[in-house]
Amino acid sequence: MFIEIPSEVEAALIDRSLPPWELDGSFLAQSTMEEYRTELTATPQFEETAATLRHALTGAGGGYAVLRLGNLATALGTDDDQFLRLVTGFAAEVAVPFSPFPRWPLWKDIGVKVDKDPGKSSGIGYNAFHMDLVNGTLPPDYTTLLCVRPDPLGGGPSILSDAHAAVARLSENSRALLAESAYHYGTFFDLHGVGEEYKPFPILDGSDPGGFVRFTAKMLKRSELGEAHADAARELAEELVRGQVSFMLQPGDYLIVNQRRFLHGREALHSGQETVSVADRRLLLQLFLRGRETVAHRAPRARART
């Protein structure tokens, strides 16, 4: 769902001055979220916009949303602290922002590196359907991407697919195989807020019909799987592609994906990326969100951020 921001809200938000945020460990501090909410809800129609966003993510048939913040990005500049604080304020209306990577700030840059593995988020090739941090016992409930610059050559549309709808189209035998703890992918170290390493794990957790579909298509090439389990995962990958939606993010677009419902990826960037200067290549900023009901109590360890 694409959500346009009413012009009255945009005009008011341009004049809103939100304070620098603070972190409590790796999570956005409760005090910051309360400050941001107090300021933002004083803006006419903001609460209605936030309610529309939450419904798009969790209501019947929903699971993702794109907030069109392009006018705010143009007015404030995407490299302006105030713009990023506003986006963080919108994110905090959905869940609690956090960074699972101690070496990264709250928002993580995803640029383009031509010498990277093409299938990685910062690569130039097809980034197949996946759930972020699939091998943690407590993956982020939401993954979000803020578009600073799209591919200037016109490639790299985002792709999304309803994971549970794809699973429902599988054979009963395939679903049974996907429910077995036979899958693994990637490494797990120096991560915060995502539980413990989960290895092996089931793609489908039968105890929670509305839970995660723990899938990344990369496991088909980079993990040693038994033939039957690999075939079931391959069948799921095909169904995800069959049901995908695709769109191009524009500057200021803020994509939020409910990982309990949808998986995401990206089509390949346009050829010729090596001819584009690093400063002009596609650039996204990534932020993860944890549902308030699953945020553990933490001792306060706040430090200033912007």
Nearest to 130 by CA among 270, 246, 259: 259
The Cα–Cα gap between 263 and 88 comes to 22
pLDDT tens per residue, range 179-237: 999 999 988 888 999 999 999 999 998 756 678 999 999 999 988 999 999 999 999 99
- Tens-digit pLDDT profile for the chain (306 aa)? 999 999 999 999 998 999 999 999 999 999 999 999 999 999 999 999 999 999 999 999 999 999 999 999 999 999 889 999 999 999 999 999 999 998 888 999 999 999 989 999 999 999 999 999 999 999 999 999 999 999 999 999 999 999 999 999 999 999 999 999 999 998 888 899 999 999 999 999 875 667 899 999 999 998 899 999 999 999 999 999 999 999 999 999 999 999 999 999 999 999 999 999 999 999 999 999 999 877 654 433 333 333
12-27 pLDDT, tens digit per residue, is 999 899 999 999 999 9
pTM of this prediction?
Answer: 0.93
What pLDDT is attached to residue 302? 34
d(CA 79, CA 23): 20
Rg (CA), the chain: 19
